[in-house]
Structure 1
Amino acid sequence: MIYDSVPWKNECLKLAKKLEKRYNQKKWSDRSLFTLEKEVFLGLFALRKLMESNKVTDQLKHRKVKLAVYPANEKQITLLNQHRFPELYDLYAGQTEEISYWNICNQFIHSSIFAPFVPFGKSLVGFYIASDRAKKEKLYYVQLKVLVEMLESVGNNYPKSLELTYSDKNKEYKVSSS
């Protein structure tokens, strides 16, 4: 549970700026790829914790964005071959799917496939991602600008009201924030 959201939201805004600079990065070492991976995972973990802690509005938590999604082909996707994901998905049969901020966070946090897309070894433009559950069916492509927008949106989102409703069935409060 996050009690004071301000430092976390400020960190999200800092991470958004760092990731935005990755558009112009031209050299990619193992160290810079590690740093990128760390920034992405920490940022998305922070977003999910802020959502779980009701530190953003319900509207933002459930906001959806359109992502490219590619179907798995006939080849079996396993722990031993998922690093060869371009062979395992039909990258020419892309569709779009609306997915919530919450679900994007989960795709990254539970990812079996995480691959930054840096065409021609130049600028980072996005990520191929699939959670351990989704990988058997589909692969998502998330543009870098979507992650930057998510971090900025959550970093600048401060609910003005909370409503608590007690559930006798669950013996717990349901929190709605707006």
Structure 2
Amino acid sequence: MISFGEIWKKELLKISKRTKKRVNPEKDWTTKDYTSFEKDTMLAFYIIRKLIDGKKVTNKIISTNIRGRKYKSSGIKVNLLNDHRIPELFDFKNPIKLKFDLRFLVNQFVHSYIFYPVLSFADEGGLKFTDLTEHHVTDEELEVIYENSKRELESILFTSDDKRNEFIYEIKVNDLIKIYESVGNCKINTWSYEYNEKKSDYDVKLEYNENTGVSF
């Protein structure tokens, strides 16, 4: 449980700004870049989890439906030695659209077994590639595209330990930023408490501005 929610929310907004700066990288990511992004994302969802547990986020935000996709397992069991072979492990030809709620995302990211940022590369003609894209160009041609293309951090593929042999999930980075900003800017006006005998603790009722929320 946390007492000073505003401090945590400010940190979340800082992570949002750093994530925005990563959307259009000028060069290939290094191991340090990947690690920093993963660290920021994990910290962001840990903060969101603590804010939810501390009654510092409205139910309107918690229950927001967030667009995403999931991909079924190919049948190959995911383990520590093959978890980087993403295209072999999941069926990316048949994406399934779905809606996430915030608690689901918190659980998946905090307990993630696979965390895979998806960067795209677009050539001058607008042809876009990712690590998961099927293409019909040679390795040499692909290398030229990578060297001369615009880069964009598009999404994250993720799955938790308990879901890794069922699905991998995908969320757009722009939607991730919306989540951070929505929670970070959530303003609660007043709290009221009523003791609940059954759970030997207090139920908390929050009053807030009706406009507090986010659209996806």
Into which bin does the TM-score normalised by the smaller protein fall? over 0.9
1:108 aligns with 2:109: yes
2:197 maps to which residue?
A: 168
Give the one of 167, 178, 183 matched to 1:154. Answer: 183
Whether the 8 Å CA contact 1:164–1:173 is kept in 2: the answer is: yes
Amino acid at match of 1:85: I
- Structural mapping, 1:20-99, within 5 Å: 20-27=20-27, 28-99=29-100
Amino acid at match of 1:147: L
Structure 1 unpaired stretches of 5+: none
Note the aligned Cα RMSD (angstroms). Answer: 1.5
More moved, 157-166 vs 84-93:
157-166
How far the C-alpha of 1:13 sits from its partner, in A, is 1.2
SS at match of 1:123: strand
TM-score (normalised: structure 1): 0.92
Once the two structures are superposed, residues 87-145 of structure 1 have per-residue CA deviations (whole angstroms, 9 ceiling, x without a partner) of: 11101111111111121121111000100111246221111000111112111011101
Amino acid at match of 2:97: T
Distance in 2 of aligned mates of 1:16 and 1:169: 39
Distance in 2 of aligned mates of 1:26 and 1:117: 15
1:131 aligns with 2:163: no
Amino acid at match of 1:142: I
1:118 maps to which residue?
A: 119
Structure 2 unpaired stretches of 5+: 122-145, 208-216
Distance in 1 of aligned mates of 2:172 and 2:195: 39
More moved, 33-42 vs 115-124:
115-124
Whether the 8 Å CA contact 1:58–1:176 is kept in 2: the answer is: no
Distance in 2 of aligned mates of 1:32 and 1:19: 11
State how many pairs are aligned: 178
Distance in 2 of aligned mates of 1:133 and 1:55: 28
TM-score (normalised: structure 2): 0.77
> In terms of Rg, which structure is larger?
2
SS at match of 2:114: strand
1:141 maps to which residue?
A: 170
More moved, 160-169 vs 41-50:
160-169
> In percent, how many aligned pairs have the same letter?
31
